[in-house]
Amino acid sequence: MSQKLDKFYEKSPVFIWGYVGVGIPVFAMLLTGIIYLDPLGAPFSIFNMFVSELGERAVSQTAWLFNWGLIIGGIPLIIFMLGLGIKYNSIFGWLCTVGGIFSSVSVLFVGIFPMDFDNDIFMTGHVISALSFFYGGMITVILFSVLIFVDKKKVLPKWLGIFGLLVAIIFALFIFLPEDSLDDVLIRPRPWFLIIAFLEWLVAFSIFSWIITVSITLNIQRRKKIKLETDDSP
């Protein structure tokens, strides 16, 4: 099994799955956000609207695009996290990978259970999936940051560990910030700025940035390795 996975990632390097796993949901978010108009005709704004509102089927004009973007995008993210685990190939590394896969699956389920206030099953599933992502994502980034610092093989540079800790702080700010009830927050029209909504978007931007940065780093490392092998060949 391990050899098959090694061959798979030789043909389809880990960084590709990071690019795809971020690119799909980001594209879906951008297009859905551009088309979105709330019931009062206001355009979407990251300053006072939550990420999940893009997938609210009763309001968002292309909710299906956002939700399917998360569902499809979650699959390459799972493959990306698994590939990172193989690179470290240690107990701690696999622990980090389990957290990463859990978070990626949670993203997928946020798409399966979109925000829907008229459906108790969807709302319960949505809340559980979203909380799983936020807590799981924070723990995963912390674990990977610690792994990067203690790793003797230097799979990833230590500055990525620092970056990861900054991402974890953004997660923590969003998770532990005291918040008002949904009835108070989701009023329309809304104040132009809601800190809790903006922090949720910062979480999304920061975790996507971390994955892309890790992917770019792995891509550069692979190119350098190929160049060295080519230069050393007779």
pLDDT digits (tens, 9 = 90+) for 69-111: 999 999 999 999 999 988 888 899 999 999 999 999 999 999 9
pTM score, whole prediction? 0.93
Q: Let me know if residue 120 belongs to a domain.
A: yes
Q: Let me know if residue 36 belongs to a domain.
A: yes
- Domain range for 150: 2-218
Q: Which of 127, 139, 187 is nearest to 164 (CA)?
A: 139
Q: Let me know if residue 228 belongs to a domain.
A: no
Q: Let me know if residue 98 belongs to a domain.
A: yes
pLDDT of residue 3: 75
Q: Let me know if residue 45 belongs to a domain.
A: yes
Q: Let me know if residue 17 belongs to a domain.
A: yes
Is the bond into 13 cis (omega within 30 degrees of 0)?
no
Contact 18, 166 (CB under 8 A): no
Contact 140, 99 (CB under 8 A): yes
Which residue reads 């809304």 in tokens?
190
Structural domains in the chain (count): 1
How many CB atoms neighbour CB 119 within 10 A?
A: 15
Which amino acid belongs to residue 123? M
> Which DSSP letter does residue 37 get?
B
The fraction of the chain above a pLDDT of 90, given in percent, is: 78
Q: Let me know if residue 173 belongs to a domain.
A: yes
The stretches in the chain having pLDDT less than 50 are none
List the beta bridge partners of residue 37: 43
